[in-house]
A and B are shown apart, each in its own frame.
Chain A
């Protein structure tokens, strides 16, 4: 789940949460240049793909900025 409202997502029990930057644009950021926004969106989706390939037991936040281990 990609959303800016992380606290609500946790509260409703969403297992895999990727924080976006704004409520009205979960998979974008209008404050960035078009190129930078494309890159940001790509990182968000990539992080979501990491998340669905990761076993979790309870609501887990997958921050985009976290550096991945090679095997994750």
Chain B
């Protein structure tokens, strides 16, 4: 099997016009073709919009986000949806880096979130910094929401391939070779073998993630080829907590895999990826966790970074896995979001591991003040704030899509400030009276590294 190569085309600007084409860093989106790719009995209509970094635009109720990718005329991207599962693996995959296609709009089981393309929240969502093709939609009369959701997912993937196809013959900006993980037993020269365990939410309709087109519910942990994830084998259909969501885009660009690759051969040996379901029953959670630890050991991991999707329920999976890994003699680090209340003085975790270590992806409850914007996509009202979609609002970080990315995409963390009396002004109050929390967030961005 040939190794996978990313053929990267960087997208700096978008435009909507008659026909799709790619010119040097500029992507022209053919409106009628994109609309046609969403044709489905469950959708009455779709509308295509653009939201670019810096635009005074708010995207309300974002659903899934996909990075345009294609393997060219032979196909093969998004196996299980756009390509057969048994196909030519590896080879070249064209990537429109800096672009996304995303759906936005009301879906009953979607926990409403937002993306701001400017202002403080633009720095907190990975999608406040990408050139987004935003698809609004209307469900067809008589279609169920579930049917509409499936139609949207298929549409997003079709458009993602269609757009990347436009760049297949263009000269790339960079070519990135993706070496497979080192097999167990490969001499490491003393470097530790480090891999990643990624838990996928598996709670049924609107709360599921697909691997090769099927839910992982009921599965045991499995060792996975990271090249397959690059090719789009993992697709999100999960609409829980917006800030704690892992849209398809973040699986395609799995941050922990990327960081492990970045240090592969220098500080560590990239040992591989284990995908796990997040079962809804305690006994199954324990089984999956114990088995994941066993699998990591069998695959020769010395250490594993563990990621999740979701809130308290998913925290339990993290906790059980870290404890199982450490009990088996592996070193474990988990990525958790904190839930310490708006003022940050509450307990940060509901359920944490007994051992191991934790990286914080920020505080779920911390308020962020968003200025008014000129235009909104995806809805006319922001229900969570009971406000006009374009209004200035204060929202918890929890509402900003992937702001607390459990896959580690974001630069948020939490630090204890100087101890302050319970009785003194809370952070939330400071955000009104003094320096706003978001200014503080932005102001601290070069505040050092962990």
Contact = CB atoms under 8 A, between A and B. Distances in A.
B191 to A, nearest CB: 34
Given A22-B280, A23-B280, A23-B281, A7 B350 contact: no
Contact of B316 (A7, A19, A24): A7
B319 interface: yes
A29 to B, nearest CB: 10
7 contacts: A4-B280, A5-B282, A7-B351, A8-B351, A19-B282, A21-B281, A24-B280
Contacts of A22: 280-281
B281 A8 contact: no
Q: How large is the interface on B (under 10, 10 to 19, 20 to 34, 35 or more residues)?
A: 10 to 19
Given A5-B313, A5-B316, A11 B351 contact: yes
Interface string B311-334: 011011001100000000000000
Interface string B335-362: 0000000000000001110000000000
Given A11-B351, A23-B313, A4 B281 contact: yes
A6 interface: yes
Contacts of B313: 5, 23
Nearest to A29: B281
A38 B282 CA distance: 21
B240 to A, nearest CB: 13
Interface string A25-48: 000000000000000000000000
A32 B203 CA distance: 19
Interface of A: 4-8, 11-12, 19, 21-24
B350 A12 contact: yes
Nearest to B312: A8
B280 A7 contact: no
B350 A8 contact: yes
A39 to B, nearest CB: 19
Nearest to B354: A11
Interface of B: 203, 280-282, 312-313, 315-316, 319-320, 350-352
B347 to A, nearest CB: 9
A22 B320 CA distance: 16
A12 B281 CA distance: 19
Contacts of B280: 4, 22-24
Contacts of B320: 7
A22 to B, nearest CB: 5
Given A4-B282, A5-B351, A7-B351, 10 more contacts: A4-B280, A5-B282, A5-B313, A6-B282, A7-B282, A7-B319, A8-B351, A21-B281, A22-B280, A23-B282
Contacts of B203: 24
A5 B310 CA distance: 15
Residue of B281, B319, B350 ringed by the most chain A CB atoms within 10 A: B281
Nearest to B281: A22
Contacts of A7: 282, 316, 319-320, 351
Contacts of A19: 282
Residue of A6, A11, A12 ringed by the most chain B CB atoms within 10 A: A11
Nearest to A6: B282
A6 B352 CA distance: 13
Contacts of B282: 4-7, 19, 23
Q: Would you list the 7 A-B pairs with minimal beta carbon distance, nearest first?
A: A8-B351, A23-B280, A4-B282, A22-B281, A22-B280, A11-B351, A8-B316
A6 B320 CA distance: 12
A6 B86 CA distance: 41
Contacts of B351: 5, 7-8, 11-12
B407 to A, nearest CB: 22
Contacts of B312: 5, 8
A40 to B, nearest CB: 14
A32 to B, nearest CB: 14
Residue of A7, A12, A24 ringed by the most chain B CB atoms within 10 A: A7
